[in-house]
Amino acid sequence: MKSLVAMTAFLTIWICAVAIGAEPCSATQAAIERGLLVLERGAGAYPGNQSCFSCHHQTLPMLAMTTARDAGLKFNRELFDAQVKFTRKSFDERKARLSKGEHVGGRAATVSFGLWMLSLADESPDDLGAAMTAYLLSVQQSDGRWKPPSNRPPLEVSSVSCTVLSAIGMKRFASQDQQEQVAASITLAKAWLATAPLEDQEDLNFALWGEVLLGGFEARMERLRDRILAARNVDGGWSQLRTMNSDAYATGQTLYVLAEAGFPVSEASFREGVCYLLETQQDDGSWHVVTRSKPVQPWFDNGDPHEKDQFISIAATGWATAALAKSITIKSAVTSPQDGQKH
């Protein structure tokens, strides 16, 4: 029975992949647009419920929006700008503490995701970026890594992802006075990353992305890429852990990073991953991923799909939408992004 199910899944994904390989698929564009609507509603509602920045409701929705923009698709620029303002305000209120290296909620994970958000908005280095850089410099571990604040998988469990995002954030936003210290910090981080244990899919993905963004060796990139491709499941998707089933968080993130690393989206393994995402998108435009994190804060309903699973599902929808947009970006070679348009 298991072999029959696996064969059926393989044939379904293969047929879909052949169809997508023939031409940029209108179904993919429609899936992106539906995903964006979910993300825009979620990001728009979040500031009415919380006053502080979040990785799942600011950075990852904005990643999907900017990737869709680069694919030539419409996105809500007014909402995007409002999220940038919200993010800046959230960190501005803690700027003095950041500059002194004093404790802030979410620690290096939140600060590095915040810098990523500012990078997506194409913000320039300024006093806020310098304060956030100062904080990251102050909390780097002696071995070169940055540690997430808690064990809340998959967003806050990987020292690899936290280290990569911290390093690239500092590289982008360090002030002139911080350049020398940041360069030494990144060298130390790269040395740790070169031998870091890669225990789950997030580790593998960010290890590869770190090689790309921080300047690594082609041989290591190839080894990481091979490990990532070997982890693909028969249904075309990827799992957060090898003991889990495929889901949109792991699959979307993997496809996005592979594309960033130059992996051809025309390859069958990439097309099959796209098909997995198309097959598993919900009717409302979201992707449902079941949480495996124990809450450390009181839960609130942001009005997003999937009730107690809504925060990881928003993150998954962000990665999945960005991955689909990435596939169209490269295949269609769009050179005139329709920046500033709204749904």
pLDDT in tens, 214-261: 998 999 999 999 999 999 999 999 999 999 999 999 999 999 999 999
Alpha helices, H only, the chain: 2-22, 26-45, 60-70, 77-92, 95-100, 107-120, 127-139, 159-173, 179-195, 201-214, 218-230, 248-260, 268-280, 310-332
Q: What is the pLDDT of residue 330?
A: 57
Higher pLDDT, 191 or 332: 191
The angle at the Cα of 224, spanning 279 to 137, to the nearest 5 degrees, equals: 105
Phi, psi of 156 (to 5 degrees): -125, 65
Average pLDDT over residues 279-294: 96
Distance (Å, rounded) from C-alpha 271 to C-alpha 328? 11
Higher pLDDT, 342 or 57: 57
Length of the chain: 343
CATH 1.50.10.20 fits 2-332, yes or no: yes
**pLDDT given at position 296:** 72
Pick from 5-9, 51-55, 100-104, 177-181: least confident? 5-9
Cα 329 from chain centroid (whole Å): 17
298: confidence class by pLDDT, cuts 50, 70, 90: confident
CA distance 34 to 14: 24
pLDDT-derived band at 335, boundaries 50, 70, 90: very low
For residue 152, the cross-strand partners are: 156
Average pLDDT of the chain to the nearest whole number = 90
Report d(CA 83, CA 116) in Å as an integer.
13
| Mean pLDDT within 265-289 | 97
Task: Count other Cβ atoms within 10 Å, centred on residue 45.
Answer: 15
Give dist(CA 223, CA 96) in Å, integer.
43
Quote the pLDDT of residue 329.
65
Distance set, CA 339 to CA 88, 294, 333 (Å): 21, 39, 16
pLDDT of 326 strictly over 70: yes
Q: How far is CA 148 from the centre of its chain?
A: 15
Q: What is the rounded CA–CA span in Å between residue 103 and residue 2?
A: 50
**How many angstroms separate the CA atoms of 331 and 268, rounded?**
14
Amino acid of residue 60: L
> Residue 200 and residue 205: Cα distance in Å, rounded?
9
pLDDT in tens, 130-186: 999 999 999 999 999 999 988 889 999 999 999 999 999 999 999 999 999 999 999
Say which residues have a Cβ less than 8 Å from residue 64's Cβ, sequence separation at least 6.
Answer: 35, 36, 39, 317, 318, 319, 321, 322, 325
Q: Is the pLDDT of residue 339 over 80?
A: no
Tokens for 20?
A: 């997508």
What number is the average pLDDT over the span 299-326?
97
pTM of the entire predicted model: 0.91
CB 80 within 8 A of CB 101: no
Cα separation, 21 vs 310, in Å, equals: 32
Q: How confident is the model at residue 16 (pLDDT cuts 50, 70, 90)?
A: low
In angstroms, how far is CA 286 from the centroid of its own chain? 16
pLDDT tops 60 at residue 67: yes
8 Å CB contact between 237 and 287: no
Q: Which of 14-23, 76-85, 325-334 has the lowest mean pLDDT?
A: 14-23
- pLDDT score of 301: 96
Q: What is the pLDDT of residue 295?
A: 75
Type of residue found at 118: L
What does the pLDDT read at residue 333? 39
Place of tokens 């993905």: 205
- Nearest-5° angle of CA 82, CA 86, CA 89? 135
pLDDT tens for 70-91 read 999 999 999 999 999 999 999 9
